[in-house]
Amino acid sequence: MAEVVLYHHSQGLTDGVKAFADELRQAGHTVHTPDLYEGNTYATLEEGMDYARTTGFGVVAERGVQAAQSLPENVVYAGFSLGVVPAQQLAQTRPGAAGALFYYSCLPVEEFGAWPDGVPVQVHGMDEDPFFTEEGGDLDAARALVAAVDEAELFLYPGKEHLFADSSLPGYDEVAARLLLQRTLAFLA
């Protein structure tokens, strides 16, 4: 079974993120869910992004990196949206990464150097999510990653919701979330 570090999105460590982590645990995986927001959660994406801006995106990302330092090297780094930043940084820079799972976001590989050999990755997002497909260039970064890495997969789901796999939020899409979870469990197996 895999050991996973799962980083939350910009609304914080919500009940939906915790429920997702519990699903992975029920499948036998060890899952760590660092709280990058020091106990704060936010009702809207905008409020959560305001917290990250005020705190500093670099500070939030560094909290994620620090949270993994006491863990063994051979872990899977996973992140939802904003949580992809520390997940991708660690997957690319910390030796021994077992894999990476990026939900709703993907940064250009060049952000942290080259993609390490032998580290598989999945990227998941909705095909009409403006945050994923337009604003930040995440879809383009995901496509470039898949084109450059043998063990990389991109999964697009129909819809326009950003945080679609968080069961505690209004944008939850049960069908897409179930498929995302199924693909995640297959990856971890």
> Which range marks the domain in which residue 50 is found?
3-188
pLDDT confidence bin for 134, thresholds 50/70/90: confident
CATH code of 14's domain? 3.40.50.1820
Check: CB of residue 86 under 8 Å from CB of residue 110: no
Nearest to 83 by CA among 178, 163, 182: 163
pLDDT score for 60: 95
- How many structural domains does the chain have? 1
Question: How far apart, in whole angstroms, are the C-alpha atoms of residue 49 and residue 74?
Answer: 31
Check: CB of residue 5 under 8 Å from CB of residue 76: yes
Read out DSSP for 27-59? Answer: TT-EEE---TTTT---SSHHHHHHHHHHH-HHH
Q: In this model, does residue 23 exceed pLDDT 90? A: yes
- Sequence letter at residue 108: P
The model's pLDDT over 66-84, given as tens digits with 9 standing for 90+, comes to 999 999 989 999 999 999 9
Question: How far apart, in whole angstroms, are the C-alpha atoms of residue 67 and residue 152?
Answer: 25
Nearest to 99 by CA among 36, 184, 11: 184
Q: Helix crossing, 84-93 with 57-68: angle to 10°? A: 50
> What pTM value is reported for the model?
0.96
Q: What is the mean pLDDT of residues 148-153?
A: 95
pLDDT confidence bin for 135, thresholds 50/70/90: confident
